[in-house]
Amino acid sequence: MAGLGAAELTAALLAPVGSPIFAVGALVIDRAPAWLKELVIALFGTADKVVLVFCVALGAVVLAAAAGALEFRRAPIGRVLVALAGALAVFAVLSRENTAAFDAMPAVLAMVVSAVLLTVMVAQLRRTPGGAEASAPDRRRFLVWAGASAGLGVLAAAGGQLISAGIRATDAARARFTLPAAAVPGAPIPDGAALDLPGLTPLITPNADFYRIDTALQVPRIDPGTWTLTVTGMVEREIEIDFAELLALPLEESTTTLACVSNAVGGDLIGNATWLGYPIRLLLARARPLAGADMVLSRSEDGWTAGTPLEVLTDDRNAILAVGMNGEPLPLEHGYPVRMVVPGLYGYVSATKWVVELNVTRFDRETAYWTTRGWTARGPVKLSSRIDVPSRNTDVAAGPVIVAGVAWSQYVGIRGVQVQVDDGAWNDATLADAISADTWRQWSWVWPASAGRHTLRVRATDAAGLVQTSVRRDVIPDGATGLHDIPVTVA
Ligand SMILES: Nc1nc2c(c(=O)[nH]1)N[C@H]1C(S)=C(S)[C@@H](COP(=O)(O)O)O[C@H]1N2
Ligand SMILES: [Mo]
Protein backbone atom coordinates (compact mmCIF):
# COMPACT_ATOMS: atom_id res chain seq x y z
CA MET A 1 0.00 0.00 0.00
CA ALA A 2 2.75 2.44 0.90
CA GLY A 3 4.44 1.52 -2.36
CA LEU A 4 1.32 2.29 -4.37
CA GLY A 5 0.80 5.49 -2.43
CA ALA A 6 4.30 6.68 -3.22
CA ALA A 7 3.68 5.81 -6.85
CA GLU A 8 0.41 7.73 -7.08
CA LEU A 9 2.07 10.75 -5.49
CA THR A 10 5.05 10.73 -7.86
CA ALA A 11 2.70 10.08 -10.75
CA ALA A 12 0.65 13.13 -9.86
CA LEU A 13 3.73 15.30 -9.48
CA LEU A 14 5.88 14.12 -12.36
CA ALA A 15 4.20 11.77 -14.77
CA PRO A 16 0.39 11.96 -14.80
CA VAL A 17 0.01 9.13 -17.30
CA GLY A 18 2.23 6.91 -15.12
CA SER A 19 -0.27 6.23 -12.34
CA PRO A 20 -0.11 2.44 -11.85
CA ILE A 21 -3.73 2.13 -10.70
CA PHE A 22 -5.04 4.03 -13.71
CA ALA A 23 -2.70 2.29 -16.14
CA VAL A 24 -3.77 -1.17 -14.94
CA GLY A 25 -7.39 0.02 -15.05
CA ALA A 26 -6.91 1.19 -18.63
CA LEU A 27 -5.36 -2.16 -19.54
CA VAL A 28 -8.43 -3.88 -18.08
CA ILE A 29 -10.71 -1.60 -20.15
CA ASP A 30 -8.88 -2.36 -23.38
CA ARG A 31 -8.62 -6.12 -22.81
CA ALA A 32 -11.91 -6.96 -21.09
CA PRO A 33 -14.44 -8.87 -23.23
CA ALA A 34 -17.40 -6.90 -24.59
CA TRP A 35 -19.98 -8.79 -22.45
CA LEU A 36 -18.16 -7.91 -19.24
CA LYS A 37 -18.06 -4.24 -20.17
CA GLU A 38 -21.77 -4.29 -21.03
CA LEU A 39 -22.51 -5.92 -17.67
CA VAL A 40 -20.51 -3.30 -15.77
CA ILE A 41 -22.19 -0.43 -17.68
CA ALA A 42 -25.61 -2.05 -17.15
CA LEU A 43 -24.97 -2.47 -13.39
CA PHE A 44 -23.21 0.79 -12.62
CA GLY A 45 -24.00 3.06 -15.58
CA THR A 46 -21.63 5.97 -15.90
CA ALA A 47 -20.17 5.16 -12.44
CA ASP A 48 -18.35 2.30 -14.21
CA LYS A 49 -14.99 4.06 -13.92
CA VAL A 50 -15.24 4.58 -10.17
CA VAL A 51 -16.09 0.89 -9.78
CA LEU A 52 -13.11 -0.14 -11.91
CA VAL A 53 -10.61 2.04 -10.03
CA PHE A 54 -11.99 0.71 -6.74
CA CYS A 55 -11.59 -2.90 -7.96
CA VAL A 56 -8.00 -2.33 -9.07
CA ALA A 57 -7.14 -0.69 -5.71
CA LEU A 58 -8.86 -3.53 -3.85
CA GLY A 59 -6.88 -6.01 -5.95
CA ALA A 60 -3.69 -4.24 -4.88
CA VAL A 61 -4.65 -4.56 -1.19
CA VAL A 62 -5.41 -8.28 -1.55
CA LEU A 63 -2.12 -8.73 -3.41
CA ALA A 64 -0.22 -6.91 -0.66
CA ALA A 65 -1.74 -9.17 1.99
CA ALA A 66 -0.94 -12.29 -0.05
CA ALA A 67 2.62 -11.11 -0.64
CA GLY A 68 3.09 -10.60 3.10
CA ALA A 69 1.76 -14.04 4.01
CA LEU A 70 3.82 -15.80 1.31
CA GLU A 71 7.00 -13.88 2.11
CA PHE A 72 6.66 -14.90 5.74
CA ARG A 73 6.14 -18.58 4.98
CA ARG A 74 8.53 -18.95 2.11
CA ALA A 75 10.78 -16.04 1.22
CA PRO A 76 11.27 -14.70 -1.43
CA ILE A 77 7.90 -15.71 -2.96
CA GLY A 78 6.30 -12.53 -1.63
CA ARG A 79 8.95 -10.36 -3.25
CA VAL A 80 8.57 -12.32 -6.49
CA LEU A 81 4.83 -11.58 -6.39
CA VAL A 82 5.54 -7.88 -5.85
CA ALA A 83 7.99 -7.93 -8.77
CA LEU A 84 5.39 -9.58 -11.02
CA ALA A 85 2.75 -7.02 -10.06
CA GLY A 86 5.29 -4.27 -10.69
CA ALA A 87 6.09 -5.71 -14.11
CA LEU A 88 2.37 -5.83 -14.96
CA ALA A 89 2.02 -2.16 -13.97
CA VAL A 90 5.06 -1.16 -16.03
CA PHE A 91 3.66 -3.07 -19.00
CA ALA A 92 0.27 -1.39 -18.49
CA VAL A 93 1.84 2.08 -18.48
CA LEU A 94 4.04 1.47 -21.50
CA SER A 95 1.25 -0.07 -23.56
CA ARG A 96 -0.68 3.21 -23.34
CA GLU A 97 -0.59 5.65 -26.25
CA ASN A 98 2.01 8.44 -25.91
CA THR A 99 3.98 7.11 -22.92
CA ALA A 100 7.75 6.96 -22.52
CA ALA A 101 10.09 5.02 -20.23
CA PHE A 102 9.99 7.92 -17.77
CA ASP A 103 6.27 7.37 -17.22
CA ALA A 104 6.97 3.90 -15.84
CA MET A 105 8.90 5.42 -12.93
CA PRO A 106 5.95 5.51 -10.50
CA ALA A 107 5.29 1.82 -11.10
CA VAL A 108 8.96 0.93 -10.57
CA LEU A 109 9.00 3.03 -7.42
CA ALA A 110 5.86 1.24 -6.18
CA MET A 111 7.61 -2.08 -6.71
CA VAL A 112 10.83 -1.05 -4.92
CA VAL A 113 9.11 0.57 -1.92
CA SER A 114 6.78 -2.43 -1.57
CA ALA A 115 9.64 -4.94 -1.76
CA VAL A 116 11.76 -3.06 0.82
CA LEU A 117 8.87 -2.67 3.25
CA LEU A 118 7.92 -6.29 2.79
CA THR A 119 11.48 -7.42 3.59
CA VAL A 120 11.78 -5.15 6.64
CA MET A 121 8.43 -6.14 8.08
CA VAL A 122 8.85 -9.86 7.57
CA ALA A 123 12.34 -9.67 9.13
CA GLN A 124 10.75 -8.01 12.17
CA LEU A 125 8.15 -10.70 12.43
CA ARG A 126 10.87 -13.37 12.16
CA ARG A 127 12.96 -11.95 14.99
CA THR A 128 11.05 -14.09 17.48
CA PRO A 129 11.23 -17.84 16.95
CA GLY A 130 7.78 -19.23 16.22
CA GLY A 131 6.85 -16.23 14.09
CA ALA A 132 3.09 -16.35 14.09
CA GLU A 133 3.16 -17.11 17.80
CA ALA A 134 5.45 -14.11 18.34
CA SER A 135 5.47 -12.41 21.72
CA ALA A 136 2.83 -9.79 22.29
CA PRO A 137 5.16 -6.72 22.12
CA ASP A 138 6.74 -7.94 18.88
CA ARG A 139 3.40 -8.57 17.34
CA ARG A 140 2.23 -5.17 18.42
CA ARG A 141 5.29 -3.55 16.86
CA PHE A 142 4.62 -5.43 13.62
CA LEU A 143 1.00 -4.37 13.54
CA VAL A 144 1.99 -0.75 14.12
CA TRP A 145 4.43 -0.96 11.20
CA ALA A 146 1.91 -2.61 8.95
CA GLY A 147 -0.86 -0.23 9.91
CA ALA A 148 1.34 2.84 9.58
CA SER A 149 2.63 1.91 6.14
CA ALA A 150 -0.85 1.05 4.87
CA GLY A 151 -2.20 4.32 6.29
CA LEU A 152 0.63 6.36 4.78
CA GLY A 153 0.05 4.60 1.48
CA VAL A 154 -3.64 5.49 1.41
CA LEU A 155 -2.86 9.09 2.39
CA ALA A 156 -0.20 9.45 -0.31
CA ALA A 157 -2.46 7.91 -2.96
CA ALA A 158 -5.33 10.20 -1.98
CA GLY A 159 -2.93 13.17 -1.99
CA GLY A 160 -1.69 12.22 -5.43
CA GLN A 161 -5.24 12.09 -6.74
CA LEU A 162 -6.13 15.43 -5.16
CA ILE A 163 -3.13 17.09 -6.76
CA SER A 164 -3.86 15.78 -10.22
CA ALA A 165 -7.58 16.57 -9.82
CA GLY A 166 -6.57 20.11 -8.89
CA ILE A 167 -4.42 20.43 -11.97
CA ARG A 168 -7.32 19.21 -14.09
CA ALA A 169 -9.91 21.50 -12.50
CA THR A 170 -7.82 24.61 -12.94
CA ASP A 171 -6.93 24.01 -16.54
CA ALA A 172 -5.83 27.56 -17.20
CA ALA A 173 -5.95 27.44 -20.98
CA ARG A 174 -9.58 26.36 -21.07
CA ALA A 175 -10.56 29.01 -18.55
CA ARG A 176 -8.84 31.76 -20.56
CA PHE A 177 -10.31 30.69 -23.89
CA THR A 178 -13.43 32.48 -25.12
CA LEU A 179 -15.38 30.93 -27.95
CA PRO A 180 -15.45 32.89 -31.20
CA ALA A 181 -18.87 33.94 -32.46
CA ALA A 182 -20.57 31.66 -34.97
CA ALA A 183 -20.11 32.80 -38.58
CA VAL A 184 -23.16 30.70 -39.45
CA PRO A 185 -25.72 30.75 -36.61
CA GLY A 186 -27.76 27.60 -36.05
CA ALA A 187 -31.42 27.26 -36.97
CA PRO A 188 -33.26 29.14 -34.22
CA ILE A 189 -34.92 26.90 -31.64
CA PRO A 190 -38.70 27.37 -32.00
CA ASP A 191 -40.59 28.41 -28.86
CA GLY A 192 -42.82 25.39 -29.33
CA ALA A 193 -39.94 22.89 -29.27
CA ALA A 194 -39.82 22.60 -25.47
CA LEU A 195 -42.94 21.43 -23.66
CA ASP A 196 -41.64 22.43 -20.21
CA LEU A 197 -43.46 19.65 -18.39
CA PRO A 198 -42.23 18.66 -14.94
CA GLY A 199 -40.23 15.42 -15.21
CA LEU A 200 -39.65 15.73 -18.95
CA THR A 201 -35.98 15.72 -20.01
CA PRO A 202 -34.92 19.27 -20.93
CA LEU A 203 -34.78 19.94 -24.68
CA ILE A 204 -31.13 21.03 -24.42
CA THR A 205 -29.08 18.93 -22.03
CA PRO A 206 -26.91 21.09 -19.73
CA ASN A 207 -23.22 20.22 -20.08
CA ALA A 208 -23.00 19.09 -16.47
CA ASP A 209 -25.82 16.56 -17.04
CA PHE A 210 -24.64 15.31 -20.44
CA TYR A 211 -23.92 11.56 -20.37
CA ARG A 212 -20.27 10.65 -20.63
CA ILE A 213 -18.97 7.46 -22.24
CA ASP A 214 -15.32 6.83 -23.10
CA THR A 215 -12.44 4.49 -22.41
CA ALA A 216 -10.34 7.23 -20.77
CA LEU A 217 -9.86 6.54 -17.06
CA GLN A 218 -7.97 9.82 -16.85
CA VAL A 219 -9.33 12.59 -19.04
CA PRO A 220 -6.68 13.59 -21.61
CA ARG A 221 -5.37 17.09 -20.88
CA ILE A 222 -4.40 18.66 -24.18
CA ASP A 223 -2.65 22.01 -24.39
CA PRO A 224 -4.56 23.79 -27.18
CA GLY A 225 -1.33 25.63 -27.98
CA THR A 226 0.26 22.38 -29.15
CA TRP A 227 -2.89 20.67 -30.52
CA THR A 228 -2.91 19.89 -34.21
CA LEU A 229 -5.21 17.85 -36.42
CA THR A 230 -3.80 16.04 -39.43
CA VAL A 231 -5.75 14.72 -42.41
CA THR A 232 -3.75 11.77 -43.72
CA GLY A 233 -3.99 8.63 -45.81
CA MET A 234 -5.86 8.36 -49.12
CA VAL A 235 -5.88 12.07 -49.96
CA GLU A 236 -4.30 14.12 -52.71
CA ARG A 237 -2.89 16.55 -50.18
CA GLU A 238 -2.23 15.87 -46.48
CA ILE A 239 -3.33 18.71 -44.23
CA GLU A 240 -2.28 19.89 -40.80
CA ILE A 241 -4.26 22.49 -38.90
CA ASP A 242 -3.63 23.96 -35.44
CA PHE A 243 -6.12 25.35 -32.92
CA ALA A 244 -5.69 29.03 -33.86
CA GLU A 245 -6.20 28.18 -37.54
CA LEU A 246 -9.33 26.17 -36.72
CA LEU A 247 -10.81 29.01 -34.65
CA ALA A 248 -10.12 31.50 -37.47
CA LEU A 249 -12.30 29.49 -39.90
CA PRO A 250 -15.99 30.40 -40.29
CA LEU A 251 -17.52 28.29 -37.50
CA GLU A 252 -21.08 27.01 -37.68
CA GLU A 253 -23.59 26.39 -34.95
CA SER A 254 -25.88 23.34 -35.00
CA THR A 255 -28.00 21.45 -32.52
CA THR A 256 -27.45 17.68 -32.62
CA THR A 257 -28.61 14.84 -30.40
CA LEU A 258 -25.78 12.43 -29.56
CA ALA A 259 -26.61 8.85 -28.60
CA CYS A 260 -24.58 5.90 -27.39
CA VAL A 261 -24.98 2.48 -29.00
CA SER A 262 -25.04 1.06 -25.44
CA ASN A 263 -28.23 2.96 -24.68
CA ALA A 264 -30.83 0.35 -23.72
CA VAL A 265 -34.53 0.80 -24.55
CA GLY A 266 -35.71 3.55 -22.19
CA GLY A 267 -32.10 4.41 -21.25
CA ASP A 268 -30.48 7.79 -20.72
CA LEU A 269 -27.18 7.51 -22.64
CA ILE A 270 -28.41 10.26 -24.96
CA GLY A 271 -28.17 14.05 -24.85
CA ASN A 272 -28.87 17.10 -26.99
CA ALA A 273 -26.55 20.10 -27.28
CA THR A 274 -25.90 23.13 -29.45
CA TRP A 275 -22.42 22.69 -30.86
CA LEU A 276 -20.06 25.18 -32.48
CA GLY A 277 -17.61 23.84 -35.02
CA TYR A 278 -16.24 23.62 -38.52
CA PRO A 279 -17.76 21.30 -41.14
CA ILE A 280 -15.59 18.23 -41.65
CA ARG A 281 -16.72 18.09 -45.29
CA LEU A 282 -14.96 21.42 -45.98
CA LEU A 283 -11.69 20.23 -44.44
CA LEU A 284 -11.89 16.96 -46.39
CA ALA A 285 -12.59 18.91 -49.59
CA ARG A 286 -9.27 20.69 -49.11
CA ALA A 287 -7.46 17.36 -48.72
CA ARG A 288 -9.30 15.82 -51.70
CA PRO A 289 -9.94 12.14 -50.84
CA LEU A 290 -8.82 9.66 -53.49
CA ALA A 291 -11.24 7.41 -55.39
CA GLY A 292 -11.69 4.11 -53.56
CA ALA A 293 -11.57 5.60 -50.07
CA ASP A 294 -14.75 4.89 -48.08
CA MET A 295 -13.85 5.42 -44.41
CA VAL A 296 -12.36 8.07 -42.16
CA LEU A 297 -10.55 6.58 -39.19
CA SER A 298 -10.45 9.33 -36.58
CA ARG A 299 -7.98 9.01 -33.75
CA SER A 300 -7.96 10.63 -30.33
CA GLU A 301 -4.91 11.84 -28.44
CA ASP A 302 -5.13 8.75 -26.20
CA GLY A 303 -5.24 6.34 -29.13
CA TRP A 304 -8.99 5.58 -29.32
CA THR A 305 -10.36 5.29 -32.87
CA ALA A 306 -13.69 5.48 -34.72
CA GLY A 307 -14.40 4.49 -38.34
CA THR A 308 -16.91 6.78 -40.06
CA PRO A 309 -18.23 6.26 -43.61
CA LEU A 310 -16.57 8.88 -45.83
CA GLU A 311 -19.92 9.57 -47.56
CA VAL A 312 -21.47 10.62 -44.23
CA LEU A 313 -18.65 13.12 -43.70
CA THR A 314 -18.93 14.56 -47.20
CA ASP A 315 -22.74 14.79 -47.61
CA ASP A 316 -24.81 17.82 -46.60
CA ARG A 317 -25.21 17.02 -42.90
CA ASN A 318 -23.77 18.96 -39.97
CA ALA A 319 -20.78 16.69 -39.31
CA ILE A 320 -18.39 19.02 -37.50
CA LEU A 321 -15.13 19.39 -35.64
CA ALA A 322 -16.68 20.92 -32.54
CA VAL A 323 -14.95 23.37 -30.20
CA GLY A 324 -18.03 24.63 -28.34
CA MET A 325 -20.87 22.94 -26.47
CA ASN A 326 -23.88 24.96 -25.34
CA GLY A 327 -21.98 28.25 -25.51
CA GLU A 328 -18.91 27.02 -23.61
CA PRO A 329 -15.58 25.61 -24.71
CA LEU A 330 -15.93 21.80 -24.77
CA PRO A 331 -15.70 20.48 -21.22
CA LEU A 332 -12.56 18.35 -20.69
CA GLU A 333 -14.65 15.17 -20.38
CA HIS A 334 -16.47 15.92 -23.62
CA GLY A 335 -13.34 16.26 -25.74
CA TYR A 336 -11.56 19.59 -25.11
CA PRO A 337 -10.19 21.15 -27.22
CA VAL A 338 -11.77 19.50 -30.30
CA ARG A 339 -14.15 16.59 -30.93
CA MET A 340 -16.28 15.25 -33.77
CA VAL A 341 -20.09 15.44 -33.80
CA VAL A 342 -21.94 13.63 -36.59
CA PRO A 343 -25.77 13.62 -36.76
CA GLY A 344 -27.26 10.19 -37.39
CA LEU A 345 -24.46 7.90 -36.22
CA TYR A 346 -23.86 6.40 -32.78
CA GLY A 347 -20.94 7.92 -30.88
CA TYR A 348 -18.68 4.87 -31.18
CA VAL A 349 -18.38 5.29 -34.98
CA SER A 350 -18.33 9.08 -35.16
CA ALA A 351 -18.01 11.24 -32.05
CA THR A 352 -14.26 11.09 -31.40
CA LYS A 353 -13.29 13.31 -28.47
CA TRP A 354 -9.78 14.81 -28.12
CA VAL A 355 -9.44 14.17 -31.87
CA VAL A 356 -5.98 14.61 -33.45
CA GLU A 357 -6.07 12.73 -36.75
CA LEU A 358 -8.45 11.97 -39.62
CA ASN A 359 -7.04 9.10 -41.63
CA VAL A 360 -8.84 8.65 -44.97
CA THR A 361 -8.86 4.92 -45.67
CA ARG A 362 -11.05 1.90 -46.47
CA PHE A 363 -13.33 -0.29 -44.35
CA ASP A 364 -11.56 -3.38 -45.70
CA ARG A 365 -8.19 -2.07 -44.50
CA GLU A 366 -8.79 -0.62 -41.06
CA THR A 367 -10.86 -1.46 -38.00
CA ALA A 368 -11.69 0.94 -35.19
CA TYR A 369 -11.57 0.52 -31.40
CA TRP A 370 -15.03 -1.01 -30.87
CA THR A 371 -15.24 -2.85 -34.18
CA THR A 372 -12.46 -5.16 -33.05
CA ARG A 373 -14.54 -5.87 -29.93
CA GLY A 374 -17.82 -7.27 -31.22
CA TRP A 375 -19.62 -4.15 -32.50
CA THR A 376 -20.48 -3.62 -36.16
CA ALA A 377 -18.35 -1.35 -38.35
CA ARG A 378 -21.23 0.92 -39.37
CA GLY A 379 -23.48 2.37 -36.70
CA PRO A 380 -26.46 4.44 -37.89
CA VAL A 381 -28.69 5.53 -35.01
CA LYS A 382 -31.93 3.51 -34.74
CA LEU A 383 -35.36 5.15 -34.65
CA SER A 384 -36.34 5.21 -30.99
CA SER A 385 -38.57 6.79 -28.34
CA ARG A 386 -38.83 7.05 -24.57
CA ILE A 387 -41.49 7.83 -21.95
CA ASP A 388 -40.27 10.29 -19.29
CA VAL A 389 -43.60 11.27 -17.70
CA PRO A 390 -45.07 9.78 -15.57
CA SER A 391 -41.89 8.30 -14.15
CA ARG A 392 -41.77 4.54 -13.61
CA ASN A 393 -43.89 3.08 -10.85
CA THR A 394 -45.41 6.36 -9.74
CA ASP A 395 -49.02 6.42 -8.65
CA VAL A 396 -51.32 8.82 -10.50
CA ALA A 397 -54.94 9.82 -9.88
CA ALA A 398 -57.70 8.62 -12.22
CA GLY A 399 -58.75 11.19 -14.84
CA PRO A 400 -56.67 13.06 -17.42
CA VAL A 401 -52.95 12.21 -16.99
CA ILE A 402 -50.18 13.79 -19.05
CA VAL A 403 -47.87 11.27 -20.71
CA ALA A 404 -44.74 12.74 -22.35
CA GLY A 405 -41.28 11.94 -23.58
CA VAL A 406 -38.82 12.20 -26.46
CA ALA A 407 -38.38 10.47 -29.83
CA TRP A 408 -35.37 10.55 -32.14
CA SER A 409 -34.05 9.46 -35.52
CA GLN A 410 -31.16 11.82 -36.16
CA TYR A 411 -30.66 13.06 -39.73
CA VAL A 412 -33.99 11.47 -40.76
CA GLY A 413 -36.35 13.21 -38.34
CA ILE A 414 -39.57 12.26 -36.51
CA ARG A 415 -43.02 12.42 -38.11
CA GLY A 416 -45.22 10.87 -35.43
CA VAL A 417 -45.42 9.33 -31.97
CA GLN A 418 -48.11 7.01 -30.64
CA VAL A 419 -48.95 5.75 -27.18
CA GLN A 420 -50.64 2.47 -26.26
CA VAL A 421 -52.31 1.62 -22.96
CA ASP A 422 -52.12 -2.09 -22.10
CA ASP A 423 -52.99 -3.88 -25.35
CA GLY A 424 -55.37 -1.21 -26.65
CA ALA A 425 -55.30 0.87 -29.82
CA TRP A 426 -52.45 3.24 -30.64
CA ASN A 427 -53.21 6.91 -29.86
CA ASP A 428 -51.52 9.79 -31.69
CA ALA A 429 -49.45 11.97 -29.39
CA THR A 430 -48.99 15.72 -30.01
CA LEU A 431 -45.52 16.54 -31.26
CA ALA A 432 -43.63 19.59 -30.06
CA ASP A 433 -42.02 21.67 -32.83
CA ALA A 434 -38.85 20.18 -34.28
CA ILE A 435 -35.51 21.99 -34.02
CA SER A 436 -34.25 19.98 -37.01
CA ALA A 437 -34.13 16.37 -38.16
CA ASP A 438 -30.88 16.04 -36.18
CA THR A 439 -32.43 16.44 -32.75
CA TRP A 440 -34.83 14.56 -30.57
CA ARG A 441 -38.43 15.73 -30.53
CA GLN A 442 -40.63 16.06 -27.47
CA TRP A 443 -44.18 14.70 -27.46
CA SER A 444 -47.14 14.49 -25.10
CA TRP A 445 -50.51 12.79 -24.89
CA VAL A 446 -53.36 13.19 -22.44
CA TRP A 447 -54.41 9.80 -21.09
CA PRO A 448 -57.95 9.38 -19.74
CA ALA A 449 -56.70 7.10 -16.97
CA SER A 450 -58.95 4.58 -15.23
CA ALA A 451 -58.18 3.02 -11.85
CA GLY A 452 -55.96 -0.06 -11.78
CA ARG A 453 -52.51 -1.20 -12.90
CA HIS A 454 -51.64 -0.31 -16.48
CA THR A 455 -48.74 -0.46 -18.93
CA LEU A 456 -47.95 2.55 -21.12
CA ARG A 457 -45.99 1.91 -24.32
CA VAL A 458 -44.59 4.30 -26.95
CA ARG A 459 -43.58 4.00 -30.60
CA ALA A 460 -42.32 6.57 -33.10
CA THR A 461 -42.58 6.95 -36.88
CA ASP A 462 -39.70 8.60 -38.70
CA ALA A 463 -39.96 11.24 -41.42
CA ALA A 464 -39.55 8.54 -44.08
CA GLY A 465 -42.59 6.65 -42.73
CA LEU A 466 -40.74 3.84 -40.94
CA VAL A 467 -42.60 2.66 -37.80
CA GLN A 468 -40.41 1.77 -34.81
CA THR A 469 -40.14 -2.00 -34.46
CA SER A 470 -41.42 -3.85 -31.39
CA VAL A 471 -38.81 -6.59 -31.86
CA ARG A 472 -36.56 -6.59 -28.78
CA ARG A 473 -32.88 -6.71 -29.54
CA ASP A 474 -29.89 -6.19 -27.27
CA VAL A 475 -27.51 -3.22 -27.64
CA ILE A 476 -24.78 -5.51 -29.04
CA PRO A 477 -23.80 -5.47 -31.92
CA ASP A 478 -25.39 -2.31 -33.40
CA GLY A 479 -27.89 -0.78 -30.96
CA ALA A 480 -31.05 -1.87 -29.13
CA THR A 481 -34.50 -2.12 -30.67
CA GLY A 482 -37.90 -2.61 -29.04
CA LEU A 483 -40.55 -0.39 -27.50
CA HIS A 484 -40.22 1.39 -24.18
CA ASP A 485 -43.00 0.62 -21.72
CA ILE A 486 -43.61 1.58 -18.10
CA PRO A 487 -45.94 0.24 -15.41
CA VAL A 488 -48.29 2.82 -13.84
CA THR A 489 -50.73 2.43 -10.98
CA VAL A 490 -53.86 4.62 -11.17
CA ALA A 491 -55.56 5.16 -7.79
N1 LIG B 1 -11.49 9.60 -27.54
C2 LIG B 1 -12.68 8.98 -27.37
N3 LIG B 1 -13.78 9.49 -27.98
C4 LIG B 1 -14.98 8.89 -27.83
C5 LIG B 1 -15.11 7.73 -27.04
C6 LIG B 1 -13.94 7.21 -26.41
O7 LIG B 1 -13.96 6.18 -25.72
N8 LIG B 1 -12.75 7.88 -26.59
N9 LIG B 1 -16.35 7.14 -26.89
C10 LIG B 1 -17.36 7.41 -27.92
C11 LIG B 1 -18.68 6.99 -27.54
S12 LIG B 1 -18.94 5.31 -27.46
C13 LIG B 1 -19.71 7.87 -27.33
S14 LIG B 1 -21.30 7.33 -27.12
C15 LIG B 1 -19.48 9.33 -27.31
C16 LIG B 1 -19.98 9.94 -26.03
O17 LIG B 1 -19.67 11.30 -25.97
P18 LIG B 1 -19.90 12.11 -24.62
O19 LIG B 1 -19.11 11.41 -23.55
O20 LIG B 1 -19.48 13.50 -24.85
O21 LIG B 1 -21.39 11.99 -24.32
O22 LIG B 1 -18.10 9.64 -27.43
C23 LIG B 1 -17.39 8.87 -28.36
N24 LIG B 1 -16.06 9.42 -28.45
MO1 LIG C 1 -21.12 4.98 -27.09
Per-residue CA distances from 155 to 52, 218, 364 (Å) = 20, 20, 50
Q: If you take atom 19 of ligand 1, which residue's CA is the nearest one?
A: 212
CA–CA separation, 4 and 183 (whole Å): 51
Domain residues of the chain, as ranges?
A: 2-172, 191-372, 384-490
Q: Say how many Å lie between the CA of residue 261 and the centre of ligand 2.
A: 5
Q: If you take atom 7 of ligand 1, which residue's CA is the nearest one?
A: 214
Q: Say how many Å lie between the CA of residue 168 and the centre of ligand 1.
A: 19
Domain 384-490 has what CATH class?
mainly beta
Before 33, cis peptide (omega within 30)? no
* CB atoms near residue 252 (< 10 Å): 19
CA–CA separation, 348 and 217 (whole Å): 17
If DSSP codes are grouped into helix, strand and coil, which group holds residue 188? coil
Q: Nearest ligand, CA of residue 479?
A: 2
Residue 215 Cα: closest atom of ligand 1: 7
Q: Say how many Å lie between the CA of residue 213 and the centre of ligand 1.
A: 5
Confirm whether pTM is higher than 0.95. no
Mutate to test the pocket of ligand 1, among 213, 334, 369 (most ligand atoms within 8 A of CB): 213
Is the domain covering 191-372 a CATH 3.40.50.720 domain? no
Residue 348 Cα: closest atom of ligand 1: 12
Enumerate residues lining ligand 1, CB below 6 A: 210-216, 258, 260, 300, 304, 334, 347-348, 351-354
CA–CA separation, 298 and 308 (whole Å): 8
Residue 334 Cα: closest atom of ligand 1: 20
Block means of pLDDT (10 residues each) for the chain, 491 residues, are 60 64 80 75 74 78 79 83 81 76 77 78 67 58 68 70 58 85 95 96 98 94 95 98 98 98 98 98 98 98 97 98 97 97 98 98 97 94 98 90 98 98 98 98 98 97 98 97 97 93
User: What is residue 131's predicted lDDT score, i.e. its pLDDT?
Assistant: 45
